[in-house]
């Protein structure tokens, strides 16, 4: 492995990634040629990883990764992970045996990548991916979980050659400007992580996505474990019931909120039973995993922090980083379930990037929320102006108000203590991360 100049070694990880962002060319550039070239010069650290699980899909990737990590850890395994995008800190993207990578270690890995990127061809995400492979391959573990950044086939994580398993979470419309205009074309990208002879666990899918997945798997002789065919997971009488060809498991509900987390937990259990056969039937291990899982920013109720200081019970304040139409429908269902159990008027605080389907996102909440507070994202996030969100919401019949900050939006909604509310801050993972930074 080549050495790097001391001037680069002294840079912070943020400074190095900013240099990658500052290079000519698009911020997102799919394809594997550039990253393979740099990995080859570095001795191909991705080929020295512990047994890996590659996870792709439109929604639920992070939750499935969190569940699977919790299940494996409960079984006694040491688990590394690379997930994206980060929520609060770039260091959270790379965890070594459950601990976020230290700044000095990440900075050294990124400086190594920068020194070897002689032609200055890597994007910042590709550079981070290579740095992750360096770090993840340098410390022993039993498994490493790798989440695809965008798509799958042309995503930089897809240099993995022989993963222990691949996982496909539900596929929906997102990033159409890069992955194609419809479910079929997007599914072709996602199914690109399947490998010859490598088992694949497949979550709930629309028929057109499933057709693409099955055809791809057939071409590669990749054995599939399909939701509702080879395994199923559902809620019954306040319990999670999982069933596959090994039998039925009667489990407590997972720790994470929302009906969609039943599917996510089911995918993870199906993968766990493939990866850890000696613990796969141990109810205590699976229960522990479901009840210790942590995945901040996904339908999470805030329990402390500055925003809570201006709210008196029985107000509820929730956050979620979901930002596409598929996520919006899952969220609206979760809110409807909450309202059925404990009725409260529901209100949204919404900020969103401009490359997302604002109209489709809003439509999922029609007849469910009482009002919307439109807020801006940080200046570097290329978000919709609050006035643009407000105009779209008004067109769909929502009561809407513009607020210059989340704090002001919360104040607008809670100034009348006689009218308790359920408030959800949503529409952007970066917005959720920003809130959690001040509430952790």
Distances (CA, A) of 395 to 326, 369, 412: 21, 15, 21
- 227-257 pLDDT, tens digit per residue, is 999 999 999 999 999 999 999 999 999 999 8
CATH number of 6-292: 3.40.1190.10
Across residues 92-121, what is the average pLDDT?
94
Q: Do 6-292 and 300-437 agree at the fold level?
A: no
According to CATH, the topology of domain 300-437 is 3.90.190
Domain boundaries, the chain: 6-292, 300-437
Q: Which residue has the higher pLDDT, 230 or 8?
A: 230
**Residue 7 pLDDT greater than 60, yes or no:** no
Per-residue pLDDT, 120: 83
**Residue 24 pLDDT greater than 50, yes or no:** no
Across residues 51-78, what is the average pLDDT?
96
Q: What confidence category does residue 23 fall into, taking pLDDT thresholds of 50, 70 and 90?
A: low
- 206-229 pLDDT, tens digit per residue, is 999 999 999 999 999 999 999 999
**Residue 25 pLDDT greater than 60, yes or no:** no
Instruction: Give percent above pLDDT 90 in the chain.
Output: 72
Across residues 269-277, what is the average pLDDT?
94
Per-residue pLDDT, 386: 96
**Residue 8 pLDDT greater than 70, yes or no:** no
């Amino acid at each position: 492995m080549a050495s790097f100049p001391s001037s680069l070694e002294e840079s912070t990880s943020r400074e190095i990634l900013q240099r990658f962002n500052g290079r000519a060319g698009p911020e997102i550039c799919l394809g594997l040629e550039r990253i393979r070239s740099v990995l080859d010069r570095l001795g191909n650290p991705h080929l020295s990883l512990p047994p890996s699980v590659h996870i792709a899909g439109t929604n639920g990737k992070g939750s499935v990764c969190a569940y699977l990590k919790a299940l494996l850890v409960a079984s006694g395994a040491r688990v590394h992970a690379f997930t994206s995008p980060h929520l609060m800190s770039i260091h959270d993207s790379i965890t070594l045996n459950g601990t976020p990578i230290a700044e000095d270690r990440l900075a050294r890995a990124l400086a190594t990548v920068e020194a070897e990127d002689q032609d200055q061809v890597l994007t910042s995400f590709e550079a981070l991916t290579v740095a992750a492979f360096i770090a993840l391959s340098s410390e022993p573990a039993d498994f490493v979980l790798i989440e695809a950044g965008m798509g799958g086939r042309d995503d930089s994580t897809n240099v993995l050659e022989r993963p222990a398993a691949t996982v496909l979470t539900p596929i929906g419309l997102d990033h159409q400007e890069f992955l194609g205009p419809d479910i079929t074309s997007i599914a072709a990208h996602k199914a690109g992580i399947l490998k010859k002879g490598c088992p694949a666990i497949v979550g709930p899918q629309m028929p057109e996505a499933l057709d693409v997945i099955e055809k791809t798997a057939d071409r590669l002789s990749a054995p599939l474990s399909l939701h509702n065919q080879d395994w199923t997971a559902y809620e019954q009488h306040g319990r999670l019931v999982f069933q596959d060809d090994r039998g039925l498991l009667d489990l407590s509900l997972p720790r994470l909120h929302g009906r969609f987390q039943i599917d996510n937990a089911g995918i993870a259990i199906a993968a766990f039973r493939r990866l850890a056969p000696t613990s796969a039937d141990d109810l205590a291990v699976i229960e522990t995993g479901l009840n210790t899982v942590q995945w901040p920013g996904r339908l999470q109720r805030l329990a402390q922090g500055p925003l809570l200081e201006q709210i008196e019970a029985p107000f509820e304040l929730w956050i979620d980083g979901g930002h596409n139409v598929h996520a919006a429908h899952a969220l609206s269902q979760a809110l409807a379930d909450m309202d059925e159990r404990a009725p409260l008027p529901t209100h949204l605080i919404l900020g969103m990037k401009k490359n997302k389907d604002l109209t489709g996102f809003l439509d999922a909440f029609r007849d469910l929320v009482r009002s919307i507070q439109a807020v801006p994202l940080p200046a570097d996030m290329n978000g919709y102006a609050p006035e643009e969100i407000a105009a779209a919401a008004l067109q769909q019949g929502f009561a809407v108000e513009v607020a210059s900050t989340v704090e002001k939006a919360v104040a607008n909604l809670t100034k009348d203590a006689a009218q308790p509310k359920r408030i959800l801050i949503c529409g952007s993972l970066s917005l959720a991360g920003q809130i959690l930074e001040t509430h952790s």
